[in-house]
Amino acid sequence: MSTYNIPRDTKGEGRILFIFSTKALMYAGIGIGIGWIFYFLFDLIGLSVVGIIIMAILGGVGFSIATFNIPNITKIDVAKKNAGQSIDEVLRRYLKFRMKKVKKYALYKGGNK
């Protein structure tokens, strides 16, 4: 008697670990690295538990920046303009804009009322 494998759909099985992308793990690592500085400072005064909590929070913030997209909230102007884009792309564009230090002014060409 031989074995017979029942065919099944396995497309969705790999998707459960999709949230652990390389980019998300790198951002989480950066957040944990920044949190490690706080852990070291709090460990010096004897509050290492607070440092571990801050390290976990910053790791979660880094992970969420890399993973999530900006939702479409119509009442918030920034969210409406950037809806559907990833948070790290928006932050990257904002920092790039702020680093240029180019000021653009719009002149009002209307007459006096």
Q: What is the pLDDT of residue 100?
A: 76
Token readout for 87 is: 């948070």
Q: What is the mean pLDDT of residues 41-62?
A: 88
Q: What is the pLDDT of residue 98?
A: 78
| H-state helical runs in the chain | 22-44, 48-67, 77-81, 87-100
pLDDT digits (tens, 9 = 90+) for 85-102: 788 887 888 888 777 776
Token readout for 32 is: 């944990």
Look up the pTM and report it. 0.61
What is the share, in percent, of the chain residues with pLDDT greater than 70?
A: 73
